[in-house]
Amino acid sequence: MLHITNGDSTTAIMERAGIAGDLLPWRDVLHEGPVPDYAPEALRVVRAEYLATLWAGDPDAVERTLRERDERLEAAVASAERVVLWFEHDLYDQLQLTQILAGLPDRPTCVELICVGTFPGRPDFAGLGELEPDELSSLWELRAAVTPEHVHIARSAWNVLRGDDPRELAREAVTPDERLPYLAPALRRLLEELPGTRDGLGRTERQLLEAVAGGARTPIDAFRASMAAEEAPFMGDTIAFDRLAALAGLVDGDGTLRLTADGEAVLAGRADRVELIGFDRWLGGLHVRADGPLWRWDTERGAPTR
């Protein structure tokens, strides 16, 4: 039996819970860096190059890890080995789950899904990694068979995620489906990372600036405040720190964090982040740049605009 989940923290709990079978963490932060519309082999190379910069690793070693991961799943599916997918409701997990489901056969067999957004007795449930071993084990009864409909929904989302037109992604984000109920909200959350029409800030950046304005004086304090503002926290501290570093000119990080005059103006909507310090970020297959076709997120309309 093969169990696939979101990362090493969850697999560690699964080991403590005595869950039988091979445990495979899906190590990729697909909401960060390029995810172009390439064949799986070529996409692995692109992702490995990005992840190596994120983890300060060797691209070839990272690519090998991704290839071994993919080959393990492919072998399990080809041999009709039982596969159980353990995921949660946030953006990080939903993109991983989408990639996995999109790569399955049209009519998968022996593949089951456990995907939760709440847990009894944990009103602030944020993910599988915070559960105790017996709590995680209790989710076993919630598993359901992955159907052709799951695969179809995931392929549609995976295709538009890797495209370069956020309007198509926005259409997926307003079309929830009960079989994958957390996917549409996750895609909308990804779109909110586009620079805003009012201030040029992505949502995470805005939350970080608001945290600093509210008294956060260290990067970790700003990160915690930003994640507390999320409906479904998904971002790790390393990426949040990179976001904060990219706001140099709006945040003075010499010693203790504080907003500069430009930072105060941007947060108040009197100035634009893109005009002041530029913008360069990937959202799936879309490369958003200040010097290229610039897509923004209109919060009031809930839609991307060029």
pLDDT digits (tens, 9 = 90+) for 262-297: 999 999 999 999 999 999 999 999 999 999 879 999
Range(s) of the chain covered by CATH 1.10.10: 196-278
Which CATH code for domain 196-278? Answer: 1.10.10
The maximal CA–CA distance of the chain, rounded, in angstroms, is 61
pLDDT (average), residues 144-160: 98
pLDDT of residue 292: 85
- Of the chain, the end-to-end C-alpha distance in Å amounts to 47
User: In the CATH hierarchy, which top-level class contains the domain 2-190?
Assistant: alpha beta
Q: What is the pLDDT of residues 123-132, one digit of tens each?
A: 999 999 999 9
Q: Which amino acid is at 251?
A: V
Q: What is the pLDDT of residues 202-250, one digit of tens each?
A: 999 999 999 999 999 999 999 999 999 999 999 999 999 999 999 999 9
CA 43 from chain centre, in angstroms, equals 17
Best CA proximity match to 102, nearest among 11, 45, 183: 183
